[in-house]
Chain A
Amino acid sequence: MSLLAVDGLSRSFGGLRAVDGVSFEAQLERITAVIGPNGAGKTTLFNLIAGSLRPDSGTVVFDGEDVTGLRPYRVARKGIARTFQAIKLSGGMTALENVMIGRHVRSRSGFVSGMLAAPWTSAEERSIRDEAMKAIELLGIADYAGTRTGGLPFGIQRSVELARALASEPKLLLLDEPASGLNTRETRDLAALIDRIRGMGIAILVVEHDMSLVMDISDEVVVLDFGKKIAQGSPRDIQRNEAVIEIYLGDGDA
C-alpha cells in the first residue's frame, strides 16, 4: 500500500485551474519528483498536500487516513514534514533552536508546565535538544549549531531547514525546490543526502527545477503542465516521453 495517495486533486484561483485532477502515489523509501514548467502547479500541489491550501475537490490519503483539507499543523502531526522554496527559518534563533522546533510534534509539555518548569519538562527538553542535535549532525552542520541562522550562508540555511524537517521524524518529507540557490557542489552533496534520507525509511516528494538532480535521484517522476498530470514514470521513461520533451525538456535542457 502506498504511503501517500493523491486522487483527483483540483484547485482553482479565479478562473485559473492551478491544479487540475492530479492523481499519483508516493511510497516509503522512494523518491517521487514533481516536475513541470513554471506555473505548472507544482508548489500549489505541495501546498494542497501540506494543508496550506484547501483543495476544491479530490482527496489526499496519508498512511491510510484521509487528511484532505486538514490545517498544516495537523498534517504535520500525522508525519508529513516540509521545506520551503524560499527558506523560512527564525533568523534570530540559533540553528539548534530552529531544529528543536522540528521536535514540536514529538514532544508534549504545555504552556503551564513550561511556566512552572515542571520536573518532567527538563527531561523532555534534553531529549528535544539531543534529537535536534542528531539531525544537525546528520546534515553535517554541527559547527553552526549555536549560530543565529540569520547570518548563515544560504546553503547552510537550507541544511538547517532540512534538519528541522528531519527532526520531526516524518514518514513523508516534502522538499520544495531544495537545490534552488545551491552551487554545483552543494547540489551534489544534497543528492547524496536525499539518497541517505530515503534509506532511513522515509518517503520523499520533491519539487525540483534542476533536471540533472531529478533524473539522478528519483525513483518516479510526475510531470505537470498547466495543472494537469501529463506523464508519470521512471526518470528513463520520462526522458524519452515525447510530450514531456516537447513541453519541458525540448529546449535542450536535458
Chain B
Amino acid sequence: MRRYLPAAAIAVLAFALPPLAAATKTAYLLTQLTMSAYYVLASLGLCALMGYAGQINMGQAGFFAIGGYASAFISKLNLASRAASPFVAALDFLGLVSRGTDSYGNAYLSPSPALACLCAILLAVGVAALIGTPVLRLRGHYLAMATLGFGIVIEKIARGTNALGGADGLSSVPAFALPGGLEITGGRAARSANFTISWVVLALGLLLLVNLIGSRSGRALRALHDGEEAADAMGVDTARYKLKVFVLGAAYAALAGVLLTHYNGSIGPGEAAFMKSVRYVAIVAVGGMANLTGVLVSGLVLNFLSLRGVFGSFDDAVFGAILIAVMLIGPAGRGLAARLRPRGASAAASSAAASAAPKRGGSP
C-alpha cells in the first residue's frame, strides 16, 4: 500500500537513525530531530483541518500550549497533604500517581504524567469543541481572525497567570514514564530512546491521518472543502465534520505539546505565541496543503533547521517570508510542493495527496 510508505519510512528511521548517528558521532542532532517530530505532529493535525477540510486555524499554537501547560501543571501538583482524601486514594489505587522526594528532600505525591497527559488532551478537546462550534460558522478571513484571537488569548493567559509561571513558564516538569521502562525526558542518557519514541509517535499520528483521509469521513472532508453546498446536499453534515476535524487537529497539537513539554522538562508562553501558529500554517502551506507527506517533510526540514539555529535571529522572519512566497508562487494556496512536483506525477498520486487544492477559504 503506497499510501502507508511515508509512515513506514518514519517508523524505520525511528530505529535506524540512532545507531547511524552514534556511528557518525552526530548523536547531538537527535535532540532537534526529536523536538521537530513533536512540532510536526501539531502541523499534521493542522494539515487535516486546513489542507483537507479547507478550514484555517491561526491559533494552533494555543492548543499546543494548552496541552503542554495542562500536563506540566497537573503533573507538578503536590497532593502529599491530601493523600488521605478519597479522590487521591482512588488515583493511587489506580496507579495514577507518582511519588518520591524532590531535590530539597520533601516528599511529594503527584498525578502521574500519563494522567496529566490524558487530562491535558481532554481539556484541549473540550476547549476546541467550545470554541469551534461558534467559530467554524465563519469562513476564510473571518475564521482566520477568530482563531488568531483565540491564540492570543491563550498566550496572554499563560503569560499573565502566576500559577503558570508567568513569563517564565513552568519548569522541572517530571519525566513521562511509559511502559517498558521508557521515559520521555531530556538528557543525554535518554536521547536516542526519546528520538525513537518521538518518531514512532509521529509515524502513528501520520498513519491515523492517512487512514482518515482515505476513509468515508476523509472523502466527506475533501468534498466539503470543495463546496459545502454540494457536500450538504449529498448528506454530509458539514458543520459536524468541520468541528470534528478541528477538534482532531487540536488534539494532535495538545498531544505534541504534552510530549515536548515532558521532553524539555519545561514550557513557556512562547509556545503559544502567534508566530508559532504562523509556523504551523507556513509548514502546511509549504507541504502543499492537502498533502500529509509534504507537510511531514517540510515540517521536519524547517523545524530542524530552525532548532539548529540556521536562521539565526531571522528565525520568525524566515517563516513569515516563506508564507509570502508560498502564497505568491501558489496563488490558489496550492503550495510549493505541488508546484515543484513534475507534471504527470500528480495524476499518479491522484488519490489523496494531489486532490483538493483549496479553491477558497483555505488560506488568509
Interface of A toward B, CB cutoff 8 Å: 50, 52, 71-73, 76-77, 81-82, 84, 88-94, 97-98, 100-102, 104-105, 107, 109-111, 113-117, 121, 124-125, 128, 146, 148, 164, 168
Contacts and interface: CB of A to CB of B under 8 A. Distances in A.
Contacts of A72: 229, 232-233
B248 A148 contact: no
B23 to A, nearest CB: 36
B211 A116 contact: yes
9 contacts: A76-B233, A101-B231, A104-B234, A104-B236, A111-B217, A111-B244, A115-B211, A117-B211, A121-B215
A115 B209 contact: yes
Contact of A81 (B222, B227, B234, B237): B234
A98 B235 CA distance: 13
A92 B211 contact: no
Interface string B195-225: 0000000000000110110011111101101
A100 B219 contact: yes
B350 A90 contact: no
B234 A92 contact: no
Contacts of B244: 111
B226 interface: yes
A90 B235 contact: no
A93 B355 contact: yes
B216 A121 contact: yes
Contacts of B212: 111, 114-115
Q: Main SS of chain B's interface residues?
A: helix
B356 A92 contact: yes
A104 B220 contact: yes
B223 A90 contact: yes
Contacts of B219: 93, 97, 100-101, 104
Contacts, number: 118
Nearest to B215: A114
Contacts of B236: 73, 101, 104
B211 A114 contact: yes
Interface in B328-364: 347, 350-351, 354-357, 359
Nearest to A128: B216
Contacts of A114: 211-212, 215-218
B238 interface: yes
B226 A125 contact: no
A115 B222 contact: no
Contacts of A81: 233-234
B230 interface: yes
Contacts of B211: 114-117
Contacts of A104: 216, 219-220, 234-236
B215 A52 contact: no
Q: What 6 A-B pairs are tightest by C-beta distance, nearest first?
A: A114-B215, A105-B235, A88-B230, A76-B235, A90-B226, A92-B355
Contacts of A52: 229, 232-233
Contacts of A93: 219, 222-223, 226, 355-356
B232 A73 contact: yes
Contacts of A111: 212, 217, 244, 248
A168 B235 contact: yes
A110 B217 contact: yes
Contacts of A164: 234
Contact of A92 (B218, B229, B237, B354): B354
Given A50-B233, A114-B211, 18 more contacts: A72-B233, A73-B238, A76-B235, A88-B227, A89-B227, A91-B359, A97-B219, A97-B222, A101-B223, A101-B234, A102-B234, A104-B220, A109-B215, A111-B212, A114-B215, A115-B215, A116-B211, A148-B350
B229 A88 contact: yes
Contacts of A102: 234
Contact of B237 (A73, A82, A101, A168): A73
Interface in B240-257: 244, 248
Contacts of B355: 90, 92-93, 97, 148
Nearest to B226: A90
B350 A94 contact: yes
A90 B222 CA distance: 8
Which one of B217, B218, B219, B248 has the greatest number of beta carbons of chain A within 10 Å? Answer: B219
A168 B232 CA distance: 13
Contacts of A89: 226-227, 230
A168 B231 CA distance: 12
B235 A73 contact: yes
Nearest to B223: A101
B356 A90 contact: yes
Contact of B227 (A90, A110, A113, A124): A90
A76 B215 CA distance: 20
Contact of B234 (A105, A113, A117, A124): A105
A131 B305 CA distance: 48
